[in-house]
Amino acid sequence: MKLHNDNKQFKKVLELFDHHNKNNSAQTCYNLVITQVLKACAHLGDIKRGKVIHEMVFSRVDKDVYILVSLIHMYMQCGDVAQAEVLFEKTANRTLPVYGALMKGYLTNNHAQKAIDIFNMIENPGEIAVNLFLNACAQLGTPEASDSAKQILRKMPKSFHSNLYIRASLLDVFMKCGDVDYAERMFGKIAKKTSAMYGAMIKGYLENNEPMKAIDLFNQLEKPGEVHVNLFFNACAQLGTREALVMTQNAFKHVPKAFHMNPI
C-alpha cells in the first residue's frame, strides 16, 4: 500500500483494502495499513470512505497517535475542519505530530491565524512546527505577522538557524509581509543559499512590484530550475518593455529541453 501511495496510485490502495476486507475484519488490519488507507482517502478527497474507516478504528484513535494524525490530516484535506478540531479537542495525547497535523490543515484551509494560535499552545515547538508557524505568518502577509516571525527568530534555538527550510520560510514571510529590506539583509548574510531561498526572494520581488530586482537575482543563478525560469518570465511580463521581451526570447533559447515538457 505504501508503494502505491508513493506512486500516487491512491485508488489501488483502496482496492487492496476492500479486497482484504472481503475475508477479514478491518479490526484485524495493522495500524500501518489504516494510516496508508487514510492517506489515500486524503489525497482523493474521499471523506465518505474516510469516515467509514474512522468508525472501524474508533477504539484505536486514543491509543495510536499515527492513526489520530492520519485522521486529522484526512479531514483537513477534505475540508472538514470542524471534525478535525473535534478529534484534537478530545485527545489528551497532544504530541508534536498532532499539533503539526492540525497546523498544516489550517494552512491548507486558509486559516492562518488558527495555525498561529495552535503554535502558541506548544511549549517546546520543534523545527517542523516553527516552519509551519512561519508559513502561517506568510499566509497572513501583515506587518504584525512579520513582527511575530522576528520574535520567533530571536527566541528559537540556535540549531534551528541552520535549517535551510526555516531560512527559506523566513525570507518568504518577510517578502510576503512587504518587509523587503529585512529579507534582503537576511539573504545577504546567508553563505549557503539554496534554490528555495532564491525562489522565495525572486517571487517576493514580483509580489512587491520589483521585477528588475527579480531579474537581477535570477541572473545570479548558475543552474536555475523550472520554478526560477517561470518566475523570470513572470518578471519580464511584469516589466512589459521591449527590453524585457528581448530578454524573454534570449532566455527561452537556452531553456533546457526537459523544461519544454512543462507549460512554463
- Residue-wise pLDDT for 109-151, tens only, equals 999 999 999 999 999 999 999 999 999 999 999 999 999 999 9
% of the chain surpassing 90 pLDDT: 67
Cβ-count burial of 218 within 10 angstroms (0-12 exposed, 13-18 middle, 19+ buried)?
buried
Give 16-34 pLDDT, tens digit per residue: 787 777 766 555 677 888 8
CATH class of domain segment(s) 94-192: mainly alpha
pLDDT band at 103 (very low <50, low <70, confident <90, very high): very high
User: pLDDT band at 243, cuts 50/70/90?
Assistant: confident
Proportion of the chain above pLDDT 70, given as a percent = 91
Q: Rounded to whole angstroms, how far apart are CA atoms 107 and 153? A: 20
pLDDT category of residue 259 using cuts at 50, 70 and 90: low
On the 0-12 / 13-18 / 19+ scale of CB atoms within 10 A, 128 is: middle
How much is the pLDDT for 153?
A: 95
Mean pLDDT for 83-97 is 94
- What does pTM read for this prediction? 0.86
Whether 200 contacts 171, CB under 8 Å: yes
9 compared with 111, residue with greater pLDDT = 111
Q: What is the pLDDT of residue 33?
A: 83
- Measured CA to CA, the distance from residue 152 to residue 149 in angstroms comes to 5
Q: Per-residue pLDDT averaged across 74-90, rounded?
A: 97
Q: From CA 100, how far away is CA 130, in angstroms rounded? A: 10
Residue range 191-203, pLDDT digits in tens:
999 999 999 999 9
Per-chain mean pLDDT for the chain: 89
- What was the pLDDT predicted at 236? 92
Give the model's pLDDT for residue 143.
Answer: 96
Which stretch of 49-63, 91-105, 154-168 has the lowest confidence by average pLDDT?
A: 49-63
Question: For the residues 239-244, what does the mean pLDDT come to?
Answer: 84
The whole-angstrom distance between residue 233's C-alpha and the CA centroid of its chain comes to: 24
pLDDT at 8: 75
Q: What is the number of other CB atoms lying within 10 angstroms of the CB of residue 161?
A: 11
Could you tell me the three cell numbers for 110?
486558509
Statement: residue 263 has pLDDT above 80 = no
